[in-house]
Copies of this chain bind each other. A is one copy, B any other.
Amino acid sequence: KNKTEVLFFPDKKVACINYFTSECENESCSFSHEENSLSKLFQFIHNAVKSVDVCVFVFTCTDLADLLIQAVGRGVSVRVITDCEQVDIPGSQIWRLRSQGIAVRTDNSSFYMHHKFVIIDNTRLLNGSFNWTRQAVTGNQENLLVTSDSQLVCLYKERFAKLWRQYKTK
């Protein structure tokens, strides 16, 4: 359960969100039913029971937005920090998340809020180069380091809390 691992991208195929979070009844489904890096990320979010704190520069992946919205429906606390200049780019999921009641805060500067990490249930950290975009899944060379090291989780929790206090809701 507390295994340290690394999710490397690109995946060869996009993982089927249905298959990895409930079941896939589409017999001609073109998405991957074999475990890969995205399917593991799906499952980390799907298995959250208390909180998901996302701090990510770009967020355009609809599947990952779906999982956050489902998490809120299960009673999980979801917070998102992103870069103010990425909020309105084509495909951005930020306004959709906000419309579903998820609190999103952004920096207010021309510099980048460039982190790409997520903390799950205050006990697991995923951190690396991975933006929450489709291109990062099947195109780019990317990594997400997964750790339950309590010292590391704590340092990123503190940083998230600091930025959350500092940034305003739009």
Check B111 against A57 for contact (C-beta < 8 Å).
Answer: no
Residues of A within 8 A of B (CB): 4-6, 8, 10, 57, 107, 111-117, 127-130, 135-136, 139-143, 145, 147, 149, 151-152, 155-156, 159, 163
Oligomeric state, in number of copies?
2
Check B128 against A159 for contact (C-beta < 8 Å).
Answer: no
Check B8 against A159 for contact (C-beta < 8 Å).
Answer: yes
Residue of B nearest to A83 (CB): B141
Check A115 against B129 for contact (C-beta < 8 Å).
Answer: yes
Q: List B contacts of A141 (CB < 8 A).
A: 107, 111-115, 163
Check A143 against B129 for contact (C-beta < 8 Å).
Answer: no
**Overall SS of chain A's interface:** mixed
Which 8 residue pairs across A and B have the least CB separation, nearest first?
A111-B139, A112-B140, A114-B140, A6-B155, A114-B129, A113-B141, A111-B140, A114-B142
Check B159 against A139 for contact (C-beta < 8 Å).
Answer: no
Give CA–CA (A145, B147) in the complex, Å: 11
Q: Mind listing 14 A-B residue pairs with CB under 8 Å?
A: A6-B155, A6-B159, A57-B129, A111-B141, A113-B141, A114-B140, A114-B141, A127-B127, A127-B128, A128-B129, A129-B129, A143-B159, A145-B145, A147-B152
Give CA–CA (A152, B128) in the complex, Å: 13
Q: List B contacts of A143 (CB < 8 A).
A: 115, 117, 127, 156, 159
Residue of B nearest to A139 (CB): B111
Give CA–CA (A6, B153) in the complex, Å: 10
